[in-house]
Amino acid sequence: MARNPRFDVLFEPVRIGPVTAPNRFYQVPHASGMTNALPHVRSAFRGVKAEGGWGVVCTGAVSIDPSSDDSPLPFATLWDERDIRAHALMTDAVHAHGALAGVELWHGGACCLNRTSRIAPLSPSGMPWLSTHVGFMGNLRPRAMDAADIKALLHWQAQGARRAVAAGFDIVYVYAGMGYLPYEFLLPEYNRRTDAYGGSIENRVRLVRELLAVTRDAVGTKCAVALRISLEELRARPGTHAASEAHEVVALLADIPDLWDVKMDSSPTDCAPSRFAPEGSHEPIIDFVKQVTRQPVVGVGRFTSPDVMVSQIRRGVLDLIGGARPSIADPFLPNKIDEGREHEIRECIGCNICISSWHDGVPVRCTQNPTAGEEWRRDWHPERFAAPGSDGAVLIVGGGPAGLECAVTLARRGYAVTLADAAPEFGGRLRFERRLPGLAAWGRVVDWRLGQLRGRANVNLYPGSTLSVDDILGLEHRHVVIATGARWTRMLYGAIEFPQGELAGPRVYTPDDLAAGVVPEGPVVVFDIDNYYLGGVIAERLAQLDLEVSYVTTAGSASAWTIMTNEQPLVHRALARAKVPIHTLLRVTAFDGALLSLAHVFTHAPTTLPCRSLVIVGIRTPDDSLIDALNARREDAGQAGIASITRIGDCLAPGAIVHAVHSGHRYARELDAGIDPVPYRRDFPA
């Protein structure tokens, strides 16, 4: 198919100093959880994006000195010459597809607690970084840098830049964002210096200016020098000579960097979850930059729609369309637009599971793209699939995320696939969840897969079909996949984390009851021991129905695990807006239909809440009645020509949608492929 001429502008080359990006698709630096210890995993992950049409592909943060040590969070290094080879694998992979490779040189300053190197952290004036994320908290305070330290920092940046050139990079960054060291110099609260680096805005910008200069000297005319900067806080501060301090900083450095990479200051606004921020949410902060500099500007905003991208360029907001999450969810996004297949883009849903992987300290995972991080490890290419290993047809029972993904991948391999679901529409848990406050974009998990399945000659779709064991035996497929999901239970836990059995009684509900249409009588208490998103979302939904709702959790905050996905601060704000009180560190001990009895998880102090209906968002258990019944009739199954019966997704191990999708994908990749004792390749430092 031919490209829609409306999108031609996206495929224009853009000059960035001495180098030229082949198009406007720019994968900005983003965390991948892949350190120098995983060089092949990393190069395949980045290389596939270049193959998919991203004109520039960058690394994540690359530390320039052991005094910038983020451990236990994963980070890359260019500390000495031995680091170069690991990065060269990536630049080779990116260049092989005609793209430019960028490197984000990074010093974390007071944000880094140097847990491994045990060097006293560096900062402008000894002010610690206040962390609200337990993963970043620590008990070591930074020291103030003296003139010799500043000289050393400039030297590390120059050395890092020289090594970056040797590793083959085309764009070398100075990073003054997200609370890291050069950013700390920009803000007077962190920078209380009285020397030439503190006080006036000219002085606070001096360090960034010098970092740019030493980088330029180090790379000569070989590479472009980019400045990545956070502008949210600076834009909120009125300037002396311009609209804001952000305007002043950009004006002071205007044409010094070859490229401006502009962003927000904190992870929840920068990598904003779709529950609370739409596509293009950075625009009100960064929209002025192009008016102040003549150099190209790149920015992000979870852009997945080519029309929105074109609008950003036509309206003079951006020159390059930055993508982190959209490039993870679909590494082939640019090529799909180029080939007139934009309707096939697997759009990021904004769930931020990818960022949670980094917080977890592991290589990136993605809800939409199960091949992310698996390109080298498992040899999963996002767009290429092995031919079927046999001509056996596959029956999949259950069309939730696991069954849908399994069906798509088997169909793309070329298997004959039948997908059946009891419900009148496919989607599994997402049939209900996508209709809850803020979760509409998550429906893309279902929509993209149905779009891929519909119209394929090798796929039969049967919604509205509850399959019994006899139905399955009668359908004569060689392989049967059970993807019947899980059900929510009424399980409670005791004081020392032992399951105590299910709470019986009137008006004790689970999310499954609400999905089935039950509307509880108020006052309602949502008791959350799942502690991911659903408890908070359900509380919000019930409040919209004008019910009196309280939210109770065993954790220290609402939707506690969403600290990993950048959603937590916004969950608290949403519940406050919905007038839902949050009661933390409490567990349910009894419920009599009028009063809910609770105990503090640490002190055991008892308390009560008025409550007519209780919704427990707790533990899920696999819906395994069908697979148990099938296994009980193995002999009949064999006679019906069934060679294998396999469970996937929540029916195997209940989890987040990302796990169900991965499970369905893995089954489809491994069918007839033979399974090694270690199912993935192990990487070693280069």
Catalytic residues: 180
The verdict on 55 binding ligand ADP (CB under 6 A) reads: no
Nearest to 285 by CA among 296, 273, 274, 301: 301
The verdict on 181 binding ligand ADP (CB under 6 A) reads: no
- CA 271 from centroid of its chain's CA atoms: 8
Residue 329 partner contact from ligand SF4, ligand ADP, none using kind-dependent CB cut-offs of 5 to 8 Å: ligand SF4
Q: Which two tokens stand for residue 398?
A: 């259950």
In whole angstroms, the minimum distance from the beta carbon of 530 to ligand ADP comes to 14
The verdict on 668 binding ligand ADP (CB under 6 A) reads: no
The verdict on 475 binding ligand ADP (CB under 6 A) reads: no
Residue 351 partner contact from ligand ADP, ligand SF4, none using kind-dependent CB cut-offs of 5 to 8 Å: ligand SF4
**Alpha-carbon gap, residue 42 to 37, rounded angstroms:** 9
Query: Which letter does DSSP use for residue 583 in this model?
Result: E
| Residue 64 vs 354, nearer CB to ligand SF4 | 354
Q: Which two tokens stand for residue 503?
A: 């709470």
Q: Which of the residues 572 through 631 are near ligand ADP (CB under 6 A)?
A: 623, 626
Q: Are 135 and 73 in contact (CB under 8 A)?
A: yes
Other Cβ atoms less than 10 A from the Cβ of 298: the count is: 29
**Alpha-carbon gap, residue 250 to 348, rounded angstroms:** 31
**Alpha-carbon gap, residue 205 to 254, rounded angstroms:** 12
Site map (CB under 6 A) of ligand ADP, residues 67-96, x = contact: ------------------------------
| Residue 40 vs 490, nearer CB to ligand ADP | 490
Residue 626 partner contact from ligand ADP, ligand SF4, none using kind-dependent CB cut-offs of 5 to 8 Å: ligand ADP
**Alpha-carbon gap, residue 30 to 41, rounded angstroms:** 15
In whole angstroms, the minimum distance from the beta carbon of 470 to ligand ADP comes to 12
In whole angstroms, the minimum distance from the beta carbon of 331 to ligand SF4 comes to 11
Residue 267 partner contact from ligand ADP, ligand SF4, none using kind-dependent CB cut-offs of 5 to 8 Å: none
The verdict on 329 binding ligand SF4 (CB under 6 A) reads: yes
Q: Which of the residues 330 through 349 are near ligand SF4 (CB under 6 A)?
A: 348-349
Among 36, 123, 125, 352, binds ligand SF4 (CB under 6 A): 352
The verdict on 325 binding ligand SF4 (CB under 6 A) reads: yes
In whole angstroms, the minimum distance from the beta carbon of 489 to ligand ADP comes to 14
The three-class DSSP label of residue 397 is: strand
The three-class DSSP label of residue 212 is: helix
Nearest to 357 by CA among 664, 564, 133: 564
Site map (CB under 6 A) of ligand ADP, residues 112-141, x = contact: ------------------------------
Which residues have CB under 8 Å from 278's CB, separation 6+?
Answer: none
| Residue 354 vs 473, nearer CB to ligand SF4 | 354
Quick one: which segment of 31-39, 279-287, 392-400, 560-568 binds ligand ADP (CB under 6 A)? 392-400
Residue 17 partner contact from ligand SF4, ligand ADP, none using kind-dependent CB cut-offs of 5 to 8 Å: none
Q: Are 527 and 618 in contact (CB under 8 A)?
A: yes
Q: Which of the residues 156 through 195 are near ligand SF4 (CB under 6 A)?
A: none
| Residue 601 vs 657, nearer CB to ligand SF4 | 657
Q: Which of the residues 366 through 405 are near ligand SF4 (CB under 6 A)?
A: 366-368
Quick one: which segment of 131-139, 157-165, 279-287, 325-333 binds ligand SF4 (CB under 6 A)? 325-333
Among 116, 466, 608, 639, binds ligand ADP (CB under 6 A): 466
Q: Which of the residues 632 through 661 are near ligand ADP (CB under 6 A)?
A: 649-651, 660
- Kindly provide the b/e burial profile for residues 437-460, where b requires at least 16 CB atoms within 10 angstroms of the residue's own CB: bbbebbbbbbebbbebbeeeebbb
| Residue 312 vs 646, nearer CB to ligand ADP | 646
C-alpha atoms less than 13 angstroms from C-alpha of 187 in its C-beta half-sphere: 24
Quick one: which segment of 163-171, 194-202, 446-454, 484-492 binds ligand ADP (CB under 6 A)? 484-492
The verdict on 350 binding ligand SF4 (CB under 6 A) reads: yes
**Alpha-helix runs per DSSP H in 321-479:** 325-329, 333-338, 353-360, 401-413, 429-433, 444-453, 469-475
Which residues have CB under 8 Å from 20's CB, separation 6+?
Answer: 13, 14, 100
Residue 48 partner contact from ligand ADP, ligand SF4, none using kind-dependent CB cut-offs of 5 to 8 Å: none
Which residues pair with residue 61 across a beta bridge? Answer: 104
Quick one: which segment of 53-61, 279-287, 351-359, 603-611 binds ligand SF4 (CB under 6 A)? 351-359
From residue 449, how far is each of 4, 218, 333, 344, 465 by CA, in Å? 23, 48, 16, 10, 19
Site map (CB under 6 A) of ligand SF4, residues 243-272, x = contact: ------------------------------
Which regions of 562-619 does DSSP assign to beta strands (E)?
582-583, 586-591, 595-600, 606-610, 613-617
Residue 484 partner contact from ligand ADP, ligand SF4, none using kind-dependent CB cut-offs of 5 to 8 Å: ligand ADP
Among 327, 484, 553, 562, binds ligand ADP (CB under 6 A): 484
Contacts made by residues 537-541, CB under 8 angstroms, sequence distance 24+? 537/275, 537/433, 537/436, 537/437, 537/438, 537/439, 538/436, 538/511, 538/514, 538/615, 538/617, 539/575, 539/578, 539/580, 540/436, 540/437, 540/438, 540/574, 540/575, 540/578, 540/580, 541/436, 541/437, 541/514
Quick one: which segment of 178-186, 193-201, 268-276, 477-485 binds ligand ADP (CB under 6 A)? 477-485
| Residue 214 vs 483, nearer CB to ligand ADP | 483
Number of residues that bind ligand ADP (CB under 6 A): 25
| Residue 211 vs 329, nearer CB to ligand SF4 | 329
Which residues have CB under 8 Å from 415's CB, separation 6+?
Answer: 388, 392, 393, 394, 458, 668, 671
Nearest to 441 by CA among 623, 215, 274, 295: 274
The verdict on 351 binding ligand SF4 (CB under 6 A) reads: yes
In whole angstroms, the minimum distance from the beta carbon of 367 to ligand ADP comes to 11
C-alpha atoms less than 13 angstroms from C-alpha of 273 in its C-beta half-sphere: 25
The verdict on 399 binding ligand ADP (CB under 6 A) reads: yes
The three-class DSSP label of residue 239 is: coil
Residue 354 partner contact from ligand SF4, ligand ADP, none using kind-dependent CB cut-offs of 5 to 8 Å: ligand SF4
**Alpha-carbon gap, residue 584 to 424, rounded angstroms:** 39
| Residue 311 vs 468, nearer CB to ligand ADP | 468
Counting Cβ atoms within 10 Å, is residue 491 exposed (0-12), middle (13-18) or buried (19+)? Answer: middle
C-alpha atoms less than 13 angstroms from C-alpha of 671 in its C-beta half-sphere: 37
In whole angstroms, the minimum distance from the beta carbon of 442 to ligand ADP comes to 12
| Residue 391 vs 628, nearer CB to ligand ADP | 628
Number of residues that bind ligand SF4 (CB under 6 A): 13
Among 297, 309, 354, 552, binds ligand SF4 (CB under 6 A): 354
Residue with tokens 């210890």: 37
Task: Summarize as ranges the residues that interact with ligand ADP (CB under 6 A).
Answer: 397-403, 420-423, 428-429, 466-467, 483-486, 623, 626, 649-651, 660
Task: Summarize as ranges the residues that interact with ligand SF4 (CB under 6 A).
Answer: 325, 328-329, 348-354, 366-368
